[in-house]
Every structure is written in structure tokens, then in C-alpha cells.
A and B are shown apart, each in its own frame.
Chain A
Amino acid sequence: MSLFTEAFMTALLVGAIAAGIPLLLAGLGEQLSEKAGVLNIGIEGMMLSGAYFGFLIAWKTDSALLGFLGGIGGGMIVAALMALLCVRLGLNQIVIGIALTLGAEGATALLHHVQFSQSYPRLSAPMVFSIPGLSQIPVLGTAFFSREPIVYLSLALVGVFAYLYRRTYWGIALQAAGDKPAALDSAGVNVMLIRSGAVLLTGGLVGLGGAFMAIVGAGIFVPFMTSGQGFIGIVLAMLARGQPIWVLGGAILFGACLSLTTALQVAGVDIPTDVIQMLPFAAVMLVLVFLGRKANLPSALGAAYVRGAR
């Protein structure tokens, strides 16, 4: 078929990775929180905060690396609030999650209004690091092996988390904090510490995803730019049933659908954006209809842990 030319496939895969990395980081972050028993509805806000601070620092220092660190920090600020309110004080996770998302949306839009609404500065494209040899492969080379270093790092995180969850003490403790926090407490492990740590790390991951959107994806910060991608991350984490590799699969599927419009334009096919945007969600619904299985969520998910309470 003439549609599947090299240019089309390259545009599709390049776009799939670019759109998929923020989703991957959001999904991995949410998965981490959920394993620890915190239903983190606030990741949309963490992502937006990461996008704003990532952009701000990258623009001030003219360094993409510092920008990514700023994004991690921006996500962690919101996550620290979440850890304080939901883990330490045990407030309702859904109320606080939505409150933090609303607050981050409002605060970043206000800051943008004060600082950038006149000038709309743009970042220069970050440096690309081509892996010698592999980057010469047609289509796949451009999409996977000739990218910004942050892309390699994000993909490597999938393996790192899979290892941590399966093979380490920390991974087991995390799982226990979500399934049976009282048992973990009896075993002498500080549940609050494990859960707070997980939420903070989630903030860092998701904030990095937001910074990726602003620095690599758009090169600019726009209010509300995450446009529900944090929520897609929540869905990815729930569909992945605790497996990081499935988050990656889902992120690439969603990323491909998001980039399909651009790729089709490259191929000269004109389909309304809205129709294309329906594809990934329709695909997931179809999968659920035919393979509908339980989501396998941790049993203490969403419940604050109070010592000694029954």
C-alpha cells in the first residue's frame, strides 16, 4: 500500500515516541504511587508544574539538562503537598488530587500570564545524541536511536522499575504498603515513609514528563498544555496491572495515535483531528470489551493509613 512509505512510517514512529514519553513517565509515576496505595489523581497538576518549571529554568539557563532537573523539582513541589496532605494527614486522596490539579493549572497559568503572555519565548531544540551504527537503520534508526538523551533515559527507566519491583527489598515494601499497610507496619517498616517517598518519586517522574513536553515536544510553555495527559497516565497505570513494560506498550500505542494526524498529513491524507484522537480510547475500550479482566489494584488503594485504626 502506498500509504506506508518510509517517510510516513518515520514520521509516525518519531511522533509516537515524542508523544509517548510524557505518557510513559506519567504512567510509570502513577503506577509507583498506586503500588504504595496512593491513588494519585494529582499527577495532571504535577505534570503541568513540571512543564512550567522545566520551561522556566531551561529558558533562564539555556540548558535543557537543568530544565529537566527543574521539571523534576516542579513535579516534586506538588507531590510534597500531596504527601503531606494525603499520606501524613490522611485527607481524601480524590479531593486533594483534584484540588492540586486545579491549583497547579491556575498557578502556572497565572505565572505564565505575568511573565510570558507578552513575549511567548521559544526554546531552541535540545541536542540529539545518535547512537553510532544503530541510528543508520532506516525508519527505526531515526525513531529510536537518534534522539535526545532523555528519551534513552526514560526508556531505560522501564527496565529499572521492573527490576526494583521484582527483585529488591524496597519493591516488596512498596507493594506491601499498598496491599496490607498494617502488616508492613508490624514488620517494623515505616509505612508513612514508604508512601511519602513513593509519592515524591512519582512527582519527580511526572514532572520530568511535563518538562519533556515543554522542552523537547513543544519548545514553549502554554497554559493547560498537558491537556488531560496526566489522566491518560492514570489509565495506563491501571491497565498495566503493575507491569512497567505494559505502561511502555500503552504509552507507545497512545503516542502513535496522537501522532497519526501529523503522519497522515505527511502522507497527504486529510482526516479530521478529532476522529484520530478518538482512536486510542476506542482501541482500549475494544480491548476491555473482548478481554475484560479485573484491573488487579492493590487492596488498600485510596485509603489513608492510620496507625492502630481498624
Chain B
Amino acid sequence: MTASVSSTAKSGEIPTTKRAEDRGEATKERLLTLLLSVGPLIAALLIASLILVLMGVDPLAYYGYIVKRGLLSPTGLQATLTGMGPMLLIAASLIVAFRAGIWNLGGDAQFLLGAVFVAASAPLLVQIMPVWAMLIISLAIGATIGAIWSIVPALLRAYQGVNEIITTMMMTFLGISFANVLVKLLFLDPATTVPQTRTLAVEDRLPRLFDTTVSSGVLIGLAAILIVHFIMARTSFGLKLRIVGANARAAIHAGLPVSALTVAVFAMSAGLSGLSGATAILGQYGNVRADWNPAYSLTIVPLVFLARFNGFATIAYVFFFSMLSIGSESAARRMGVPNYFTLVTMAVLLILLGITEMLDKRRRDRKGI
């Protein structure tokens, strides 16, 4: 788009031939974009295949199995979609914070504590109120707990200038242990001997979509990421946040209430992480076991970066990541390739995506567009 605008502006006198050329240019550009997004994926799979061959596993069979179980089989696809719900909410949480220049790396504890409080309260709430009311209140509980866990880092950052990378990481470590204390000592299900919370019955969970097993949590996730994308890209509130993120000092000079906006960003970001925890419990797990920590936040961080904080690109990356984790889980059981292998594939993919993005940027810089 930008390419055609600038070139027609430069040579205004022969617009007709130029436009045809531009159209060719635009197609080329689009093809290149496609190549840039698919190329690293193929290269990463090739490198990972090499490792598989070294381990004595047939890579075609392995990846075929992952695609079959994560994408092509009905149960696998449904599990992939269900898994996307909490991940999309985490991604939305990170996009809000990162676009506003705030490094909320405390998502794991915000998620976990939201999940623990929801798992503790939902099975009791459902006894005194209809399911729909319980679900709404539980989602609110998750979001509130997540937000509460970020109050101290938010205030320290907003009014004392304390680096939020330190404080959110501290709160994450603190929160993970705290969640364990809660599960083991306070919210223990008296009916079981394993340390875990009470379990929310399957029929009381978030409704499933149509005739599938896909939890409607994925709709909450999609809605959240689209709303976040809209707010950040199209509203004045989002513009204010982006100004704070781009240059906090300039934002103060422009008369923006930077401290208040910072607190608002923390509340939104941590609230979304807490909501993600609630969705995971209400849609997928039903309870929290001791020492459970899926640590989504850290794995989603690079995905959000590679999507350049764009909501739509993030949805695509999260879909791919969810498919890979679901597929490799069953591949681990079937083919004896441990689940750790996914980590290696992810790492290679992230590095190659990073390199491609840099090459693309250099190409653009050379062309001056």
C-alpha cells in the first residue's frame, strides 16, 4: 500500500502505465510477504527434522502425526481451538502492556492466582446460583484477582519510577508459591487425598460451541484480542497509551496523565491475564492441582513480538502454537519423542522468524520505503 502511494506521488504525469506497474509491484510484494511468513516455518521444520533424524525418528511420520492430531482429526482440532482461549487472553494482556511500553512479565502469577481463586469459588457458587450467573461472576473474580496482583508493581512504576521488569518478576515468583500455598493449605478439596481444589462439574463449565467439544472460552479470547486491537489502533485512549509507550517524557509535556494511564494499563493487562486463568479453569481444567503452572506468559511473549503487537497476526501465531502443543503431546505418547522437542522447534522457529524480519527490514530500508 505505502509503496504504490509514494511512487505515484513522485511521478504524477504518467499515472496510467504507472498504475499497471504498481499493480504488478503490489502482487510481487504480497507474494514476498507470503514467502516471508511461510519460509521460516519450512526452514525451522527442516532443521528440527534433522534433529529428529539424529534421534532415529522419521520426521515425516512425526510431523504428519502432529498435523493429524492437532489439526486434521476432529478431536485434535477441537482441543487446539479450546487451548487457544487462554493463550489469546494472555496475548491480549501482553499487547496492551507492551504497546504502552510497560513490561508486564508477571503474567504467569496473574494467570495462576486468577485460576486458583476461580477454581476455589466456582464449585461453591454454583450451589447457590444459576450456572450463567456463576460463570459471569467467576470471570469477574479471575480478572479482579489478576489485577489486584499487579497493584504494587503498578503503583511503584507510576509514582516511584521503579522498573516494572523487576517488580512483576518478583510478584510472579511470589505468586506461584502463593498459589501453591493456597491450593495445599486453604482451598484443599476435603474429598480427595491429592492436594487440589474442588472440581467444577463438566456440565457447569463454559458452554460448548454447537455440537463440538470446543469451549466458548476461545470466543472470549478472540473477542478480547479484537477489542484490544481496536482500542489500541483506533481510539483516542489507545493513542494516549501508545504515546506513553513511545516516549513517556513527551507524553508528560503533552499534558497526558501518565501516572494514571500507567495504572490503567497494568489493571487491563493483569486483568486479562487473570481472566485467562479463569477461562482455563471454567473451560478446560475444572480444578487446580498443586504445583500446576502452564507458564503460558513466557512462551506467548515472543509470539506477540513477532506479530509486531498486531492482533490478527497474533491469532495466527497462537493457532499454530496451540496446534503444535496439542499435536506433540499425543506424538510424545505415541512415538516416544519427548514433549521437550516442541521447545527446540519453537526456539528454531523464533530465531528464523527474527532473522527473516531483519532481512525484510533491510530490504525495505534499501528500497527507501
Contacts and interface: CB of A to CB of B under 8 A. Distances in A.
A103 B55 contact: no
A294 interface: yes
A109 interface: yes
B360 to A, nearest CB: 12
Contacts of B161: 292-294
Contacts of B357: 91
A149 interface: no
Contacts of A90: 358
Contacts of A99: 302, 346-347, 350-351, 354
Contacts of A285: 152, 167, 170-171, 174
A149 B58 CA distance: 47
A193 interface: no
Contacts of B171: 281, 285
Nearest to A99: B350
Interface in A243-292: 272, 274-275, 277-278, 281-282, 284-285, 288-289, 292
Interface string B159-198: 0111101110111011001101100110000000000000
A235 B358 CA distance: 29
Given A105-B340, A110-B338, A282-B174, A293 B160 contact: yes
A89 B347 contact: no
Contacts of B38: none
A99 to B, nearest CB: 4
Interface stretch (A21-29, A126-134, A204-212, A226-234): A226-234
Nearest to A304: B358
B233 interface: no
Given A95-B302, A98-B298, A100-B347, A113 B340 contact: yes
Contacts of A113: 338, 340
A278 B177 contact: yes
Contacts of B358: 89-91
Interface size class of A (residues with CB under 8 A): 35 or more
Contact of B344 (A91, A107, A292): A107
B313 to A, nearest CB: 14
Contact of B174 (A91, A228, A281, A292): A281
B343 A102 contact: yes
Contacts of B160: 292-293
A157 interface: no
B347 A289 contact: no
Contact of B355 (A91, A239, A289, A294): A91
A209 B293 CA distance: 25
Interface in B300-327: 301-302, 305-306
Contacts of A98: 298-299, 301-302, 350
A95 B338 CA distance: 24
Given A293-B162, A295-B163, A275 B181 contact: yes
Given A289-B152, A294-B161, A109 B338 contact: yes
Contacts of B345: 106
A238 interface: yes
A91 B340 contact: no
A293 B160 CA distance: 7
B156 interface: yes
Contacts of B185: 272
A285 B345 CA distance: 36
Contacts of B346: 99, 102-103, 106
Contacts of B354: 85, 91-92, 95-96, 99
A114 interface: yes
Contact of A106 (B180, B305, B347, B355): B347
Given A102-B343, A105-B343, A94 B162 contact: no
Given A99-B351, A110-B344, A92 B305 contact: yes
A223 interface: yes
A106 B301 contact: no
Given A90-B358, A110-B344, A281-B173, A95 B306 contact: yes
A297 B163 contact: yes
A280 B119 CA distance: 27
Nearest to A276: B177
A110 B337 CA distance: 9
B340 A235 contact: no
Interface string B242-272: 0000000000000000000000000000000
B341 interface: yes
B170 A235 contact: yes
Given A95-B305, A228-B173, A289-B152, A106 B165 contact: no
Interface string B39-80: 000000000000100010000000000000000000000000
Interface in A166-196: none
Contacts of A284: 166, 170
Interface in A65-106: 81, 85, 89-92, 94-96, 98-100, 102-106
B169 A106 contact: no
B263 to A, nearest CB: 15
B199 interface: no
A297 B167 CA distance: 15
B342 interface: yes
B338 A103 contact: no
11 contacts: A92-B354, A96-B354, A103-B346, A105-B340, A106-B343, A107-B344, A110-B338, A228-B173, A234-B169, A285-B170, A288-B167
Given A81-B351, A89-B358, A288-B162, 16 more contacts: A94-B305, A95-B305, A98-B302, A99-B302, A100-B347, A103-B344, A103-B351, A105-B343, A109-B338, A110-B340, A110-B344, A235-B170, A272-B184, A275-B181, A278-B174, A294-B161
